[in-house]
Structure 1
């Protein structure tokens, strides 16, 4: 938190974005930047003009569809995605298994694994996990916001519990079992041949000061997040899952954390559940950026996209291992990081 910059960007003053914060921020940022550059900005409603042919969702509420035009041309946008991205690319990006197939075909490293459906037995799932090699990751084939993602599973019992939760509690049939790659999770944003932004996604955490309890530290950090236009809707929740994770590390919400000690509150790095976006655009090795660019090129019709990847530093070289692509990505964490 030492490097927080609450001045942000000179053309994005708080009064301009007070009604477009959190997950609603992305379309506004894109539209505002086009308008700032002298383009004509027009907001649209569902199924108007070119949007009848574009993949969109949850657009009954205004503020997600817009166009930017000059004298020569006009382009249409759904949130952060422009009309040069094909519907086929969007469909592939939403399907984690199809994404893996395309990445592997083009030689882009991605975790090894296999897709399963509800029709396949738990015993078969255990065979797949043994083939992949523990620890494994279990996640829905089509999902977002970290919903139903279980990482670093080391036993058959935990594997079965995870699958039952996804398929029975969340009522999601198709899942992927894949190898667990150690490393830090990042989101890179690629436009054409260039990475234009990158952030480390650090799981929700607090740092002790020797005085405040864990609960108080969470409250303090949430107050800081409320001052960030993107993170105002991404507060750390003090729910049973959080409490259980804290207790596994020998603490409770009432514990006073020693000064300087960092306590992680979850093993999921999603910004939407309280994770910290930390800007690392200038720090990431070019080799990792090249992997992200190659991943986007592996999908036909994809000209810009977010790339979620693990930075694996366990070997002789730093490697990027692609987890998934998001053609309609949230960029608020890249523009308004927690640090950087």
Structure 2
């Protein structure tokens, strides 16, 4: 089963409710991988307070990850070689893998004549970009004149004064991110430049606000709002529009020049329709880089014209949610593919209820931030998977204040019953309790104790009888919390 959102379908095992605590942040990749491993019964240990770095172990093998990158399996120099846009380009070109022709400029203090000579040698249109970096920052593409190239080059050098610069051929086509794990393409995404479509009713500003609201529901795109800046205003002006214009129905209005999803772009899953030649080039590219097990590979592809393609760059630590949470199409289950690769002897349990198991990492993060431990290993998931899941609603109470000692007693008794769950206190005095355990009897046994523990502080009458519980199908994490 999968979660469907608007025109997209996302993996049910990593639905928006399950990964909400990691929404939009750099830790979404690590969260999804750690969750997949933990559900399989593998040992997960966090080693850094930002929760980007963690290890997964099965008793025989231990792999240390930095987000999606298996650091312990690849030497630092191998990662650096892949992440170097120029070095990877040189290696791929030497293997006959298509890359744009270009030049690396390390001494960036060039005259206009020297820059013009580079432009003439490569030929317009051009791309100018920092030699390192990600997410489309600093990239100018589609430069069609030498004066424009010189202007954008000087702006880039002023913005990134310590960076070498790559000037290369601009190849017309669509932007693709292909994810390779081992020797297999596991996902491919077409990145579409940020835009809106008119409806003859709403202004540009209103349509942009609506699109930004839609993006906030996407676990990956929620941190990349639709652009609203001076560059956007200039691009609107080129299209004869302003923020208050009402575009005609069906008219496409461009909002950016770069297809990066972090700059407001959309994402379309094309895993099943990726041309065989591109898939093979992606696999060959990873094989050409020593020691690399996973890479995100950025292609430019011209499906409507020649059908040609070229690799623009590679990333050793790709954001796997980019592929998992498209705005259109079906997002592949990347964590499953990755853990299958690195721990092939592990398997999912096959229990449907496991899809709603999630991780609560606040205490882990607090412990690492306070430097009370250098590493924190998660409690393993009980073998039964907490199949009994029930929710109770208490009668309205006058106060929801609980002393620290009372809260601790609830934690102790929940552990004694083998029960996980949460007690939620709303500002209006409504209290709900969600419990999960091996069977309903364990849930009911702890619930009886819970009512006695909170009776006095909540002002519950003696002999209060609770309504029967209802099934709970929301997220479940191991442990008990009072919220």
In the alignment, is residue 145 of structure 1 matched against residue 122 of structure 2?
A: no
Aligned to 1:20: 22
Cα distance, 1:306 vs structure 2: 0.3
Structure 1 contact 287–319 (Cα < 8 Å) conserved: no
Structure 1 contact 291–320 (Cα < 8 Å) conserved: no
Cα distance, 1:145 vs structure 2: 1.7
Deviating 4+ runs (over 6 angstroms):
none
In the alignment, is residue 269 of structure 1 matched against residue 259 of structure 2?
A: yes
2-side partners of 1:188 and 1:233: how far apart? 21
2-side partners of 1:10 and 1:314: how far apart? 33
Structure 1 contact 166–172 (Cα < 8 Å) conserved: no
Structure 1 contact 140–172 (Cα < 8 Å) conserved: no
What does the per-residue CA deviation read over 1:250-284, in whole Å, with 9 as the maximum and x for residues that have no partner?
11111111112221111101111111111110111
Aligned to 2:101: 112
Partner residue of 1:329 out of 308, 314, 318: 318
2-side partners of 1:139 and 1:249: how far apart? 25
What does the per-residue CA deviation read over 1:231-260, in whole Å, with 9 as the maximum and x for residues that have no partner?
110111210011111111111111111112
Partner residue of 2:8 out of 4, 8, 22: 4
Structure 1 contact 67–75 (Cα < 8 Å) conserved: yes
Partner residue of 2:56 out of 32, 55, 68: 68
Cα distance, 1:15 vs structure 2: 4.0
Aligned to 2:74: 85
1-side partners of 2:101 and 2:318: how far apart? 24
Distance 1:313-1:135 versus aligned 2 partners, 3 A rule = same
Higher relative contact order (CA 8 A, sep 6+): 1
2-side partners of 1:11 and 1:142: how far apart? 34
- What SS does the aligned partner of 1:282 have? helix
Partner residue of 2:272 out of 263, 282, 293: 282
- What SS does the aligned partner of 1:120 have? coil
- What SS does the aligned partner of 1:19 have? helix
In the alignment, is residue 210 of structure 1 matched against residue 214 of structure 2?
A: no
- What SS does the aligned partner of 2:310 have? strand
Partner residue of 1:255 out of 245, 268, 278: 245
1-side partners of 2:39 and 2:120: how far apart? 54
Task: Note the residue ranges of structure 1 that are not aligned, 5 or more in a row.
Answer: 46-60
How many aligned residue pairs are there?
322
Partner residue of 1:191 out of 166, 181, 197: 181
Larger Rg: 2
Partner residue of 1:226 out of 184, 196, 216: 216
- What SS does the aligned partner of 2:14 have? coil
What does the per-residue CA deviation read over 1:7-45, in whole Å, with 9 as the maximum and x for residues that have no partner?
x33322444322211132111111111122221111113
Cα distance, 1:157 vs structure 2: 1.2
Cα distance, 1:146 vs structure 2: 1.2
In the superposition, the TM-score normalised over structure 2's length comes to: 0.64
- What SS does the aligned partner of 1:66 have? strand
In the superposition, the TM-score normalised over structure 1's length comes to: 0.90
In the alignment, is residue 132 of structure 1 matched against residue 134 of structure 2?
A: no
Cα distance, 1:172 vs structure 2: 4.1
Which deviates the most, 134-143 or 85-94?
Answer: 85-94
2-side partners of 1:279 and 1:314: how far apart? 17
Which deviates the most, 28-37 or 216-225?
Answer: 28-37
Structure 2 contact 256–263 (Cα < 8 Å) conserved: no
Cα distance, 1:122 vs structure 2: 3.1
2-side partners of 1:313 and 1:338: how far apart? 20
Structure 1 contact 166–173 (Cα < 8 Å) conserved: no
Aligned to 1:167: 157
Which deviates the most, 28-37 or 208-217?
Answer: 28-37
What does the per-residue CA deviation read over 1:170-199, in whole Å, with 9 as the maximum and x for residues that have no partner?
324411111110000000000122110010
